[in-house]
Amino acid sequence: MTLTVPLVSARNLRKEFHGQPVLDGVDFDVASGEVSVIIGKSGSGKSTLLRVIAGLEAPEDGDVTIDAKLTLSGGTRTADWSHGAAMVGMVFQSYTLWPHMNVLDNLVLAPRKVLGLSAGEARERAEAALDEVGMAHHITSRCTQLSGGERQRVAIARALMMRPRVLLCDEITSALDPPVAAEVLGVLARLKQEDGLAVVLVTHDMAFASKAADRVVFFSHGRIAVDATPDEAFHHCEDPELKAFVDAVR
């Protein structure tokens, strides 16, 4: 019998802002090569969950295990913290690329600094990452010359530069027109298929969730109210709040 250990396992995550619970005891696992879509009303805690897993926000309590190593214990970073952090990449809604730099310079900045790669090694990595998102021909373009969809593909490539095993994507297509959004989401589906990358995606795109997600997680008031396959979540779920939410965004 093979035991599948989750790549990321969060237990009892608790986070408050101004005395209000935003993560109210969240348990959340990510398996290797799985696409999880997180949906839920604005303010329900979706971004906070991703930010806590990525280490951008410290929780008050909770444990996180990444690649079988405990990285947060009782909300506090452990000695294995950086080992886990290296496996997690994050992409945001608003373009966080440096506008005055070209695509290559944006991509090589962190790996040269953090991993100490030589210029040649970093460029090779950048070419491979851009190839994965279909942007190799834009390696010397200035970011200001790129369209919104192209910038998000570059932002994904930049996250790939650190060779993460899980990519956390927070509403990365919300500012894009539907066909452009579909292209960007197609890149994620391909990365899962070809590289076994786990993807956790906060989105309102129900079409993508139905088609490409392995599971749908519905967030409500800082808790996971539903965690199911897309078919169960969208067609067989009795949760009245989820039904109302899906009807509202459709």
173 touching ligand ADP, by CB under 6 A: no
CA angle 222, 67, 53 (to 5 degrees): 25
Minimum Å distance from CB 49 to ligand ADP? Answer: 7
Minimum Å distance from CB 236 to ligand ADP? Answer: 24
44 touching ligand ADP, by CB under 6 A: yes
Q: Which residue lies nearer to ligand ADP by CB, 43 or 196?
A: 43
Q: How many angstroms separate the CA atoms of 138 and 150, rounded?
A: 9
Q: Which residue lies nearer to ligand ADP by CB, 70 or 92?
A: 92
Identity of the amino acid at 111: P
Neighbour count for residue 101 (Cβ, 10 Å): 15
Q: For residue 149, report the phi and psi dihedrals to the nearest 5 degrees.
A: -65, -40
Q: Which residue lies nearer to Mg ion by CB, 47 or 106?
A: 47
42 touching ligand ADP, by CB under 6 A: yes
CA angle 196, 111, 98 (to 5 degrees): 100
48 touching ligand ADP, by CB under 6 A: yes
Residue 44's binding partner out of Mg ion, ligand ADP, none, with CB under 5 to 8 Å set by partner kind: ligand ADP
Minimum Å distance from CB 169 to Mg ion? Answer: 11
Q: Which residue lies nearer to ligand ADP by CB, 17 or 98?
A: 17
36 touching Mg ion, by CB under 5 A: no
Q: From 42-50, 67-75, 157-165, 241-249, give the range in contact with ligand ADP by CB under 6 A.
A: 42-50
Q: Which of 8, 10, 13, 22 binds ligand ADP (CB under 6 A)?
A: 22
- From residue 39, give the alpha-carbon distance in Å to each of 43, 78, 122, 131, 177: 11, 30, 35, 30, 19
- From residue 184, give the alpha-carbon distance in Å to each of 41, 163, 250: 23, 19, 20
43 touching ligand ADP, by CB under 6 A: yes
Do residues 223 and 25 lie in contact, with contact meaning Cβ atoms separated by under 8 Å?
yes
Q: Which residue lies nearer to ligand ADP by CB, 45 or 164?
A: 45
For Mg ion (CB under 5 A), the number of binding residues is 1
109, HSE (Cβ side, Cα atoms, 13 Å): 13
Identity of the amino acid at 44: S
Identity of the amino acid at 207: A
Q: From 41-49, 61-69, 99-107, 239-247, give the range in contact with ligand ADP by CB under 6 A.
A: 41-49
Quote the distance between the C-alpha of residue 229 and its chain's center: 18
Q: How many angstroms separate the CA atoms of 14 and 189, rounded?
A: 30
Q: Which of 9, 36, 47, 220 binds Mg ion (CB under 5 A)?
A: 47
The binding site for Mg ion (CB under 5 A) comprises 47
The binding site for ligand ADP (CB under 6 A) comprises 17, 22, 40, 42-48
